[in-house]
Each structure stands twice: as structure tokens, then as C-alpha cells.
A = this chain, B = another copy of it.
């Protein structure tokens, strides 16, 4: 029996509630399997860690994360630890990403079920069939370059940040995008996004992406878009970007959030942040090594509904599916979870509607939604 260590970081607000349901799903997968075993352990991270330990990322949590095969996170932050606090949950997140070398952020934007088209802010004719996976570089660029705050000499009236990229940083994220494109049948096209008409980093980005794919993955289709033009396409004709969007840290932050509202509820969408290309070797093979990663829903900690038991657990449950697929090489149970979510959303309740939590206009509780998905599974 192959054993995997999975660290759980419930976090703040609705985090613990949604993580509880995703944990049940993971336990159900392990219980049904004769050859894998999941060891789940929970640690403090985020605002709750600031309250308990005085820091967002306690050493013990960091250590556990370093030793884990994969990490499942809820959500962190809240008004209690706002922009004006000295110690902020987000800093812990940026430190954790960097410490674990999680350079690849992966965010699908698609309809978990066609029955959700109504919830999109886009007209059905525009939204139908949108199926985008954003692959964002996560530990480079202007997030981690040198910077100077105002109020600091020399030139106290000026602040600056450095957007910086090296050839190898661009190569490795390009390879992750390529692996993800190749995992689909037929392989997905890659849309690389930059601002090469202005930025030196973008000119390097375009060159390295082009060369890496030409040499190592000549079978993949590649095109380039300027970031301003891509931000229009995502609204006006998002299907033109179906496939993999490959981009740097800041553009990825903006474009992944923009595309995530197409499916109509942030509560539905998962994400992964990986320290390498997804595991393709089968987990049973002798040389299999898990790809470490953090998996989390894209929604925030939603303090307004925390504790009410009405948050949508689907984003976290689909994150658990990504965890199985990308970190542990378990594609079959990952698909089973995605399928169970679809079945629950498609199934009509007595009123003729799919089963829905409050964010989608329904009245299922977090727990009942989780239980329904485990049941189908």
C-alpha cells in the first residue's frame, strides 16, 4: 500500500467549513482504494495562526508543509487582519509559495456543469463551451524583484518595484503548461500572454516560450497575445482562448481572476500551485515521486457568511481532485470526484433545479452538498 502525507490548512472564515467537506471526499477515495493510504494532518496557517502564534506561517506549519506530499488549503485572511495590520496573512502565503518553490499556479475556468450557464455574467452564446486553464508563473516577476518603498532614502518621494525574469524561470513554467496541454486529447493549444511591445521581461518571455515549445514540444500549437488584448478577449470572445493561457505572475493574477467570473460563481473553482510539472508517471511505478503542491479554492475567506454553514464546498472538493491528479498521479479518482460534482449539479431536485448552495441560488448547506457528493462517489 502506497502512503501519502497530506497537510490540511483550514485557515480562516469559511475555510474550515469547506475543507471539512473536501477532507471527507479524500477519505472516501482512500477508503475505496486497496492500494493507497492518505495520512491527513491539520496545521494552523493565516489569520488564526497570527492570533495563536503571532505569525501567519508558524515554523511547525512550514516544516510540515515541506515534508508533505501535498497540501490542501481552505482560505485565509479577513477584516481582522486587514491592509493596515503589521502582520498579514497574505505575507505568510507569499512566503510559503516561495519556500516550497511553487512556481506554477494552475487555475481552470470552465463550467462544472452546463446547467450553470445561467449564472454567468456573459450571454450564454458567449460563455457556452468556455474551457480555459490559466498557468501562471507564481514566484518570479514583480512579486519577488527588488523594491523600494517611499519614505526610504535616496529619493524619499519615489517608490519602485522590479519586474525580473530569467531564461530558466520562463523555461520551467513553459514546460508545466506544455505538460498540461499534452494531458488532454487532443492536446490543447497554448496562448502565451505578455506585453512585448513595451517590456523587456515580456520580450524575453516571448522568445523563451517560443523556443522551448519549438524545440521540446513541436506538436503543440502556440500563439501570443498582448495582455491588454487578452483582457478584452476574455470578455468578448473567451472561447478564442480555450486551451492553456500561459503567463507571468502579475498578468496571471489579473487574467485568472478575470476569467474565473465567467462560470458565474467563484465558489465552484479550484486551483493548484505546484513545485514542478504534474506527475505523469503512474503512482504505482517504482520511481514515482509526488509533485509537492498547495491546492485551494479560488474564493476568499468570506467573513460575512463564515460560521453559517452555507458556503459552497465545491471549489475545495475540486481542488482535492486536482491534488490527487497533479501531486499524487491519481487521475482516475480525480475524475471520479469531478464526475460526482457534475452529477450532483445536474441532478434535478423536486423543484426542477439542480442541487445548489446559496451562492448559486439554492438552499443546500455546506455539509449536505459535501455529503451528496460523497454519496454519488
Contact A207 B254 (CB under 8 A): no
Q: Using CB atoms, name the residue of chain B closest to A147.
A: B200
Picked from B148, B198, B204, B228, the residue with its CB within 8 Å of the CB of A200 is: B148
Bound complex: CA of A163 vs CA of B198, how far in Å?
Answer: 12
Inter-chain contacts of A120 with B (CB < 8 A) = 123
A143 CB contact (under 8 Å) in B164, B168, B198? B198
A164/B160 contact (C-beta < 8 A), A123-B123, A142-B199, A237-B121 known: yes
Complex CA distance for A237 and B261, rounded to whole angstroms: 10
Contact (Cβ within 8 A) A236 B121: yes
Interface size (A, Cβ < 8 Å)?
59
- Chain B residue nearest to A127 (CB atoms) is B121
> A96 contacts the other chain (Cβ, under 8 Å)?
no
A235 lies within 8 A of chain B by Cβ: yes
Answer yes or no: A36 CB below 8 A from chain B CBs: no
Known contacts being A150-B204, A260-B232, A262-B235, is A160 close to B162, with CB within 8 Å?
Answer: yes
Interface centre among A229, A250, A253, A256 (most CB of B within 10 A): A250
Chain B proximity mask over A177-221: 1 for CB below 8 Å, otherwise 0: 000000000000000000111111101100100000000000000
Chain B residues with CB under 8 A of A199: 142, 147, 161
Q: With A and B bound together, what is the CA distance between A83 and B224 in angstroms?
A: 11
Which of A245-275 touch B at CB < 8 Å? 250-251, 253-258, 260-262
With A and B bound together, what is the CA distance between A135 and B337 in angstroms? 46
Q: Are A150 and B207 in contact, CB atoms less than 8 angstroms apart?
A: yes
By a CB distance below 8 angstroms, the chain B residues around A126 are 121
Chain B residues within 8 Å of A207, by CB: 150
Is B122 within 8 A of A159, CB to CB?
no
Which chain B residue shows the least CB distance to A265? B236
Query: What would 24 A/B residue contacts be, using CB atoms closer than 8 Å?
Result: A94-B198, A121-B126, A121-B236, A121-B237, A122-B122, A122-B123, A123-B123, A148-B200, A150-B167, A150-B200, A155-B166, A158-B166, A159-B200, A159-B203, A160-B162, A161-B164, A195-B253, A228-B253, A228-B257, A231-B254, A232-B258, A235-B261, A235-B262, A251-B254
Having A160-B164, A160-B200, one finds 9 other A-B pairs with CB under 8 Å, namely: A83-B196, A90-B197, A121-B123, A122-B122, A147-B199, A150-B207, A157-B168, A227-B253, A235-B262
